Amino acid sequence: MRPITRSLYLASAAALLCAGCATSPEAESRRQAKEADIAEILSAPLDPAEFGETKRCLSESEYRNFRALDDRRILFEGRRGKQWINTLRTRCPDLRYGHVLVVRSFSARRMCDADRFEVADWFDWPWYRRWPWQWGGSWTTGMTCSLGRFQPVTEAQVAEIEAVIKSR
How confident is the model over 26-40, as pLDDT tens digits? 989 988 999 999 999
Q: Could you tell me the pTM of the whole model?
A: 0.73
- Tell me: the pLDDT tens digits for 116-160? 988 876 554 454 444 444 444 454 456 789 999 999 999 999 999
102 versus 165: the higher-pLDDT residue is: 165
Contacts for 9 with CB less than 8 Å, ≥ 6 apart: 1
What is the per-residue pLDDT across 62-111, written as a single tens digit (0 to 9) for each?
999 999 999 999 999 998 889 999 999 999 887 877 777 778 877 778 89
Residue 77 or residue 12, greater confidence? 77
- What is the residue range of 112's domain? 3-167
Residues 76 and 60: beta-carbon distance below 8 Å? no
Give the separation between CA 109 and CA 150, rounded to whole angstroms: 16
The pLDDT of residue 155 is: 95
Question: What letter represents residue 75's amino acid?
Answer: L
Buried b / exposed e over 28-58, threshold 16 CB at 10 Å, is eeeeeebeebbeebbeeebeeeebbebbebb
The count of domains in the chain is 1
pLDDT confidence of residue 128: 47
pLDDT at 57: 93
